[in-house]
Structure 1
Amino acid sequence: MTSKFDKASFREKLESSGEFPMLYMFKFIVLKGKETEVSALFPKNEISLKPSSGGKYISTTICAMMDSADQILNLYEQASEIEGVISL
C-alpha cells in the first residue's frame, strides 16, 4: 500500500524547523546509472554517492543551502520524476 505524500504537512514541518536560508540534506536512493539525473538537480553542490551492497542501487546525499520550503519541495518534485527514485 502506498501512502500519499502530504505536501502541506511537509511544508509546515520545514518552515517550523528553523530560519531560511538553511542548509538542508537531501537523501535519495536510485537505480545504478540514474545517479547522474539526481546530480543534475544539484549542479552547484557536492554529492556523496554510496553503492548498495549488491551494487544495484546508489545512495545519494546532497547538502544544499535552501532559501525556502517551496524550493525544497520543488527539488523533491523534480526528483520524483526520476525513474525508480526513493526519497528519504
Structure 2
Amino acid sequence: MSDKEKEEFYIKFKERLENTTEFPSDYTYKFIVPTDNKRLAEVQRVFDGARPQFQMKESKTGKYTSVTVVVYVLDADQVIHYYQQAASVKDVMML
C-alpha cells in the first residue's frame, strides 16, 4: 500500500470511528502475530503507558498468537495512533 493509499485509508477510518464510536471509551484491538516472544513484546510495547488489558491465545498449531488489547482511548486520533504503531511490527496482521 502506498503512503497516499494509507493516508486515505486512515482519513476514512477516522470518519467511520467518529460516526460509530462515542469517545472517550474502551477500544478493542485485535492482532494476529507469529508466535515469537520478540514480536509479541513489540506489540505490547505499542501500548506502554496506556494501561492496556491483554489477552493472548495461541493457534492450534502454535504458529500464530491472537492478541486482543483493550485500551481506554480519548478520541479517534488515539485509536489510529496505536494502529499505526502496531503496523510497524513485522508480520503483524491487524483485524
Same fold (TM over 0.5): yes
Q: Is 1:61 paired with 2:64?
A: no
Unaligned segments of structure 1, at least 5 residues: none
2:57 maps to 1:50: yes
Aligned ranges 1:1-88 → 2 under 5 Å: 4-5=5-6, 6-33=9-36, 34-43=39-48, 44-88=51-95
Deviations 1:6-47 (A, max 9, x none): 111110111011321011100001111111111112232120
C-alpha distance in structure 1 between counterparts of 2:11 and 2:64, whole Å: 30
Q: Which runs of 4+ in 1 moved over 4 A?
A: none
Q: Which amino acid in 1 is paired with 2:79? A: I
**Other structure's SS at 1:83 match:** coil
Gap regions ≥5 residues in structure 2 = none
TM-score, scaled relative to structure 2: 0.83
- Identical-residue share of aligned pairs (%): 35
TM-score where L is the length of structure 1: 0.90
CA RMSD of aligned residues (A): 1.6
